[in-house]
Each structure stands twice: as structure tokens, then as C-alpha cells.
């Protein structure tokens, strides 16, 4: 867990709540509710427990175990049971494990009854199309993101909605989640080498 403590015009990030403020030395145990430690929400979820969702994970390893923010990412779509459909140079995979630490974006609202029932069949039929054969894979132009976004757009069009470009989908759906994940990863990496990471509040407010 990553905790945040607000005290003496600073935000203190840590793993364990300290009895005294590492910035000023003041006693935090009697500093009141304003200085109470707050546990930050971890942006990574067990992907196989997130049905009908768009998932992102590092191609190699996991986010919290060595990912530096620059490595390649892999994406997939879950069915109703959390099986992750994902596409690479070997074709479409149906993974029941390996996505335990993912950024997850739900794709279906609870009131979309018809789509909830049809989702698995639509995803399976889509994955069998010729476009997703192994020899069609191209690392830059026809890849895992192409597969996932094409399925999202197939569903949108069936519901009478306009398809989304890669830029539109990234801006509207992915960036809010990836920005949160990036901030959390930065804190996680800072705290891998120190007990506290202190951010002056004025600097935080400027951001």
C-alpha cells in the first residue's frame, strides 16, 4: 500500500504511517484528522475478475515488479468469465491467467441487458475472423490494440454508434486510467529506495 499524509504544507508518501512528520518532526499522532494517513487506490486490478473489460498490462513482467514506464504494453478484452482474448504474432489467445495485474476499463454498463447476454458470442465470433490469423499480424499496424479497438467498434456500430479512432479511444477511455497508473508507479518506484517521499504542497498545487 502507498499512504499519503498531509502535514506542514507538504504531502508525505510512505508505506507505513510514521509517528512523527519526516518533514518537520512534528507529532502526527495528535495532529488531528487533517493529518490522518490516506491509503491511495491502487490502479491495478486482477484482470480475470473484471468481465467485459479492456485490459492493459506490460508485455513482459508486471507493473509493480520492475516496469519502468517505457516497456511495451499488451492489451486484451475479457469475456463474461474473465478469459482474456488477445492477439499477437501467434494469433488470438484466450488466456485464463497472466493478467492478474492490469489496468482495466469496463466496456459494458449494467443496464445494457442485451449486450451483456451477447458479449461472449460476439467476442468469440470476432476472434475467429480471418483478419486475426497469425500471418496478418504486424507489430505497428495490425496488433493487439488493433484487435481490441476493432472489437469495441464492432459493438458500437451494432448499437448505432460511430466508431472511434485510435486517438479518440486513447484520449477518451485510456488516458485517465494510464495517467493515474503512471502517478502511482512513480510513487511506488520512489518508495522502493526510501521510507518517505515528500512533495511540498505549493508545488503540488501548481501542478
Q: Are residue 38 and residue 63 in the same domain, yes or no?
A: no
| 56 lies in some domain | yes
Q: Are residue 14 and residue 77 in the same domain, yes or no?
A: no
Q: Are residue 106 and residue 150 in the same domain, yes or no?
A: yes
pLDDT score at 111:
84
What residues contact residue 141 under an 8 Å CB cut-off, 6+ apart?
Answer: none
| 117 lies in some domain | yes
Identify the segments of the chain with pLDDT beneath 70.
203-207
pLDDT score at 167:
96
pLDDT score at 71:
87
pLDDT score at 29:
82
Place of cell 492478474: 100
pLDDT score at 105:
96
Question: What's the rounded Cα separation, in Å, for the pair 108 and 114?
Answer: 10
Question: What's the rounded Cα separation, in Å, for the pair 66 and 36?
Answer: 30
Q: Are residue 37 and residue 97 in the same domain, yes or no?
A: no
What residues contact residue 89 under an 8 Å CB cut-off, 6+ apart?
Answer: 134, 137, 139
Task: Look at the pTM and tell me if it is higher than 0.85.
Answer: yes
Q: Are residue 35 and residue 137 in the same domain, yes or no?
A: no
Structural domain boundaries enclosing 36: 3-42+194-200
Q: Are residue 11 and residue 87 in the same domain, yes or no?
A: no
Q: How many domains does the chain have?
A: 2
- C-alpha distances in angstroms, 34 versus 3, 11, 38, 44? 14, 11, 10, 27
Amino acid at each position: 500500500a502507498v499512504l499519503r499524509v498531509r502535514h506542514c504544507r507538504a504531502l508525505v508518501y510512505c508505506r507505513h504511517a510514521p509517528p512523527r512528520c519526516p518533514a518537520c518532526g512534528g507529532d502526527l499522532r495528535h495532529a488531528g484528522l487533517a493529518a490522518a494517513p490516506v491509503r491511495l487506490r491502487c490502479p491495478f486490478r486482477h484482470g480475470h475478475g473484471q468481465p467485459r473489460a479492456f485490459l492493459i498490462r506490460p508485455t513482459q513482467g508486471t507493473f509493480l515488479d520492475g516496469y519502468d514506464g517505457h516497456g511495451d504494453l499488451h492489451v486484451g478484452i475479457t469475456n463474461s468469465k474473465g478469459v482474456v482474448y488477445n492477439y499477437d504474432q501467434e494469433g488470438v489467445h484466450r488466456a485464463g491467467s497472466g493478467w492478474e495485474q492490469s489496468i482495466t476499463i469496463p466496456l459494458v454498463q449494467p443496464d445494457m441487458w442485451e449486450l451483456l447476454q451477447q458479449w461472449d458470442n460476439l467476442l468469440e465470433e470476432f476472434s475467429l475472423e480471418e483478419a486475426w490469423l497469425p500471418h496478418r499480424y504486424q507489430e505497428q499496424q495490425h496488433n493487439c490494440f488493433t484487435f481490441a479497438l476493432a472489437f469495441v467498434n464492432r459493438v458500437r456500430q451494432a448499437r448505432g454508434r460511430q466508431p472511434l479512432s485510435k486517438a479518440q479511444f486513447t484520449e477518451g477511455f485510456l488516458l485517465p486510467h494510464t495517467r493515474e497508473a503512471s502517478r502511482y508507479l512513480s510513487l511506488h518506484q520512489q518508495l522502493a529506495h526510501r521510507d518517505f517521499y515528500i512533495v511540498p504542497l505549493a508545488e503540488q498545487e501548481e501542478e
